[in-house]
Amino acid sequence: MPMTFPPAFLWGTATAAYQIEGAVREGGRTPSIWDTFSRTPGKVEGGDTGDRAVDHFHRRTEDVALMAGLGVNAYRFSVSWPRVQPTGRGPAVQRGLDFYRGLVDDLLERGIRPVLTLYHWDLPQELEAAGGWPERDTAHRFADYARIVADALGDRVDMWTTLNEPWCSAFLGYGSGVHAPGRTDPVAALRAAHHLNLGHGLAAQALRSALPAGAQLSVSLNPSVVRARSQSPQDLDARRRIDALANRIFADPMLKGTYPEDLFADTARLTDWSFVHGDDLAVIKHPLDSLGLNYYAPAVVSAATDNHGERNDGHGASEHSPWPGADAVSFHQPPGDLTEMGWSIDPTGLYDLLLHYTREAPGLPLMITENGAAYVDKPSADGSVHDPDRIRYLHGHLLAVGQAIVDGADVRGYFLWSLMDNFEWSYGYGKRFGAVYVDYETLARTPKSSAYWYGELARTGVLPEPPA
């Protein structure tokens, strides 16, 4: 019997503002940390920037029509903070908000549910100049921004996400430096993690006060499915250490109102965590209506044979580690097939993740807010783009989602990353995750085979077979 999903299941695609919008100098928008970072020589492959990206700012209506043609019923997008509040302080720029008002109206007219993410990594550069996420004030500025967007769009958007992948913002942005703003300070990374947590809680409070009663609040985390290479005590301790830094540093305060004691112990030589103030954890533990989970590949770890382990963690090359207090942990490439990112293909990790959070947060609905794969996609002679490897990847992971639902996970939706090829952060335009192919010279959009395959699933709720 083919796998069948619940009738109300959300079938969506996902994007991020800086990756697709372009128009970085229009409508009063000022630079974000990604504008600054991508224009810094050597930070992004090929010297690429998001200045034009795929020009979604000017092709919004075309892109919404494309989604509607595929048959998806939800679209997860992010708002560009510097487009609607250019310096991260003060009043909104209505021209910036008008773009998102128009986008939401277009989606609703096509029967597509808008799912809004407030922060997908594009901090206004002026806030970074004032200290960025390592500074407590940034969390309060984020709450003010959340209120601005809620006041503008709360009458039409009923699904709200505070942060996307705060682990990347904190540890790739301030620890290893492979993401904007490119800082390499382990203490700043830990401070950023806490203030992102605090910003989430403060923004959730602001949203609750501004939105209608039925609005749903969420956060999108990218938990790492961490597996020990062996069952030795040393390797199991390596797994515990990375689990604290990758997962529990965000999930525990958000879901339980506590930080892990072992995280404090592991990082005690770096900081005393005095930046955590008295009522912070009560603010961070704001009730959620769902939990977003982003999954791509598991991690395999072991104790290092010396004080500095190898770091094949899939998070970019840097002399600086994104794992504060975990220098003596090694990361290993799992066996099996890989995507173009060099990430292993392992749907069991997604199944394990869904069952784990079903146990950790009983009664809290789950959403897969990102899942997908990069491959080398090229048009055929007739102009079509066939990507059977991506279809097989999606089929395997959606089978895992369906089995998790059968086994008790309350999964309400799946968002394919990504709607279309775009600016892939520090990889520039060299990695294609899209279900829609973009010719970066002409910006013409061509749905790949995977887009039609996924559209059939979205329309029927029945998982189609992959190519032979």
- Residue 405 has phi, psi (to 5 degrees) of -65, -45
Q: Do residues 351 and 403 lie in contact, with contact meaning Cβ atoms separated by under 8 Å?
A: yes
Distance CA 158, CA 340 (A): 35
Q: DSSP of 52-90, one letter per residue? A: STT-TTTSHHHHHHHHHHHT--EEEEE--HHHHSTTSSS
Q: Are 338 and 319 in contact (CB under 8 A)?
A: no
Q: Which of 445, 446, 430 is CA-nearest to residue 340?
A: 430
**C-alpha–C-alpha distance, residues 411 and 12, integer Å:** 13
Tokens standing for 436? 């829609």
Q: How far, in Å, CA of 160 to CA of 369, rounded?
A: 12
Cis-peptide into 388, omega within 30 deg = no
Q: What's the chain's Rg over C-alpha atoms? A: 21
| Both tokens assigned to 432 | 């294609």
CA distances from 136 to 81, 198, 274 (A): 18, 8, 12
Q: Give the whole-angstrom CA distance, residue 117 versus residue 76.
A: 7
DSSP characters over 93-119: -HHHHHHHHHHHHHHHHTT-EEEEEEE
Q: How far apart are CA 215 and CA 327, in angstroms?
A: 42
Q: How many residues does the chain have?
A: 468
In whole angstroms, give the CA distance from residue 83 to residue 124.
Answer: 9
Active site residues: 165, 370
DSSP tag of 465: P
Task: Collect all residues with Cβ–Cβ distance below 8 Å to 468 and sequence separation of at least 6.
Answer: none
Alpha carbon distance 307, 403 (integer Å): 41
